[in-house]
Structure 1
Amino acid sequence: MEPPGQDQGTVSVRNLTKHFGAVRAVQDLSFDIRPGRVTGFLGPNGSGKTTTLRMLLGLATPTSGTATISGRPYAQIAQPLREVGAALEATSFHPGRTGLDHLRTYAPYAGADDARCLALLEQVGLGQAARRRVGGYSLGMRQRLALATTLLGDPQVLLLDEPSNGLDPEGIRWLRGFLRHLAGQGKTVLVSSHMLSEVQQSVDDVVIIAAGRLIHASSMDELSALASTSIQVTSPDAAGLGKLLAARGWTPRPPVTDAPAEGTAVEQGAAVERGAATVELDDVTTAEFGAAAFSADLEIHALMDKSEGLEDIFLRMIATDSGSSSDGAKR
């Protein structure tokens, strides 16, 4: 019996836990991955990403909890290659086989013929290398072949572990567009990576784990909203700068270099030298400050955006003590 329609293509992990002896690889992990979206499964090396994917694919047995695809464990899917395409590594190829022969090995299980195999090799950029032995492929070429293998049965769900590893910049750009294309077809695409910068231009949602625990789960837009905005300003007119800050109600951070000279107009949160001042301001953009300085006829020698980027947020999250459980709320 088919699962309910609302589960079709949905990847669900509930209270998933995996212990290897005393090692707690995954701990009480819960999240959902929806169709029509690219989701980045992020975390540092050793965070439990691959172990989670292996449990989704029935390659490892959970200590507790569940991992289902379209409402069922992977072992209960009658034609798995037609429903789930997975690539956990790009090294499981026989070096003596050609790229085409590699696809032919799996084609009968996916209901694919030679025409489908050749079309997929063209689609992933390996058309000219279809009859070359895989032993002569670069790592990037093997990554493309692994992706072609996952697509043999035209599955609804794709689980890809570090698919950009080994790709050159052009290949990474191609991969981003290709994943977006697949999601546009309504497919569920889960891409693991240990670097947010590798996937941030192609994913809709993120699931971030560290030490086997969920740290954060949201859309990319929600993650971006966590970024702090700050600027650094240097003006030769410390008195004028002080007046502008007071008029706008902007409070500088503590000094960025030396303590301010006594008696200057900007005595708190500024570094002052020979009448010049440097301040850092939070929750103010460069455009906002530039417009205010122009209106106040204030001379500015430097105006820098010091805002926290997405990679900074990611690194801060995974560096945070993850010993306590999380329900996916922003941390």
Structure 2
Amino acid sequence: MSSSDGVIEVAHLSKSFGAVRAVDDLTFQVQPGRVTGFLGPNGAGKTTTLRMLLGLVSPTSGSATIGGKPYHELRQPMRTVGAALEAASFHPGRTALDHLRVYAPQAGVPDSRASEVLDLVGLSFAANRRVGGFSLGMRQRLGLATTLLADPPVLLLDEPANGLDPEGIRWLRVFLRSLAAQGRTVLVSSHVLSEVEQTVDDVIIIARGRLVHSSTLDALARLALPRVRVASPDVAGLDALVAQAGWEAAADASSPGRVELLGVDAAAVGAAAFAARVELSELTPHDPGLEQTFLSLTSPAQDATTGGAR
């Protein structure tokens, strides 16, 4: 596949279940060579969106394509997309190796590939153990091994860190980044930003079925930088202080002498203003933090879309 074949594109996608609007006019793109976090609280519509991408649920309107095609038009789906949407969908009486051997013919790969992917996900030691005795974290790894059977360039993973211990989460982080470094498209859903913030390159955040933010993780982090709102009756003095200190500032056009400073704390601003003899009439700090920014974007009070789709 070319790089364009690995692009996931969702365009004006909507899905209603009776009176419930689970997904509402959702539009975004996911690019190859990057790990993209598909984020939102439980019930935001993430799993429904992934199921529409895989043709398991029909959209009410809009489209969801992979490489420009809906899933049902892909000639060799398992060689194009690997998906893990349910960690518990295993026959408890089968061994891990036998589970993968069942899927190998569908993926068009030899039985030997089963052992290879178990090794990739660190489950070789449990190859001949029955899945019914697996922990949730082990099931997550087996689900990931199943998605990799046909070596697909696109991966859709629903809450893959669920049930993993801290060591497992660190392993998953390194593993997903290595897959993206190979040029694969990796879309990872989660309802907890802190779970994936050290893993993803880009974020797509939805709430109540709607897009509320789409950007790089760095751009989202900029929204979470500490900010200080400063006002002074000495407009020229304040402007000179900001310029001399090199602070990034956003002026309030409707209120001369008031600025918002990005990436600096209130104590530093106060000390600099005192040294420069610039009178301040306001010095208000605001430090939202990345997780708080995420919660703010997905709160019921936040209805406007923040940030544009890339």
TM range (shorter): 0.7 to 0.9
Query: Which string of whole-angstrom CA distances, capped at 9 and with x for unpartnered residues, describes residues 35-93 of structure 1?
Result: 00000000000000000000000000000000000110000111111110000010000
1:141 aligns with 2:138: yes
CA distance in 1, matches of 2:264, 2:63: 45
Question: Which residue pairs with 1:221 in the alignment?
Answer: 218
Counterpart contact for 1:30–1:327, Cα < 8 Å: no
Partner secondary structure for residue 146 of structure 1: helix
- Residues 110 and 284 of structure 1: is their aligned pair in 2 closer, same or farther, counting only changes over 3 Å? closer
Question: Which residue pairs with 1:253 in the alignment?
Answer: none
Counterpart contact for 2:212–2:303, Cα < 8 Å: no
Counterpart contact for 1:211–1:322, Cα < 8 Å: no
Question: Which residue pairs with 2:231 in the alignment?
Answer: none
CA distance in 2, matches of 1:222, 1:284: 13
CA distance in 2, matches of 1:65, 1:291: 52
- Residues 290 and 54 of structure 1: is their aligned pair in 2 closer, same or farther, counting only changes over 3 Å? same
- Residues 38 and 14 of structure 1: is their aligned pair in 2 closer, same or farther, counting only changes over 3 Å? same
- Structure 2 counterpart of 1:31, from 6, 28, 33: 28
Partner secondary structure for residue 8 of structure 1: helix
Counterpart contact for 2:137–2:164, Cα < 8 Å: yes
- Residues 291 and 176 of structure 1: is their aligned pair in 2 closer, same or farther, counting only changes over 3 Å? farther
Counterpart contact for 1:42–1:209, Cα < 8 Å: yes
| Structure 1 spans left out of the alignment, 5+ residues | 232-244, 250-280, 297-304
Q: Which amino acid aligns with 2:150?
A: G
Runs of 4+ in 1 over 6 A off after TM superposition: none
More moved, 281-290 vs 54-63? 281-290
CA distance in 2, matches of 1:283, 1:70: 39
Question: Which residue pairs with 2:52 in the alignment?
Answer: 55
Question: Which residue pairs with 2:297 in the alignment?
Answer: 317
Q: Shift of the alpha carbon at 1:227?
A: 1.7
CA distance in 1, matches of 2:293, 2:119: 38
Question: Which residue pairs with 2:167 in the alignment?
Answer: 170
CA distance in 1, matches of 2:88, 2:55: 20
Q: Which amino acid aligns with 2:154?
A: V
1:200 aligns with 2:179: no
Written as runs of structure 1 = structure 2, the 5 A alignment for 1:229-268 is 229-230=226-227
Q: Shift of the alpha carbon at 1:34?
A: 0.5
Q: Shift of the alpha carbon at 1:329?
A: 2.9
Partner secondary structure for residue 85 of structure 1: strand
* TM-score of the aligned structures, taking structure 1 as reference length: 0.77
- Structure 1 counterpart of 2:83, from 70, 83, 86: 86
CA distance in 1, matches of 2:266, 2:19: 53
Counterpart contact for 1:228–1:282, Cα < 8 Å: no
| Structure 2 spans left out of the alignment, 5+ residues | 229-237, 243-259, 276-284
Question: Which residue pairs with 1:161 in the alignment?
Answer: 158
Q: Shift of the alpha carbon at 1:211?
A: 0.3
CA distance in 2, matches of 1:283, 1:173: 31
Q: Shift of the alpha carbon at 1:113?
A: 2.0
For these two proteins, the number of residue pairs brought into alignment is: 278
Q: Shift of the alpha carbon at 1:157?
A: 0.3
Q: Which amino acid aligns with 1:329?
A: G
Counterpart contact for 2:296–2:302, Cα < 8 Å: no
Counterpart contact for 2:226–2:289, Cα < 8 Å: no
Question: What is the alpha-carbon root mean square deviation over aligned residues?
Answer: 3.0
Same amino acid, percent of matched pairs = 62
CA distance in 2, matches of 1:25, 1:327: 20
Question: Which residue pairs with 1:257 in the alignment?
Answer: none
- Highest Rg: 1 or 2? 1
- Structure 1 counterpart of 2:114, from 114, 117, 121: 117
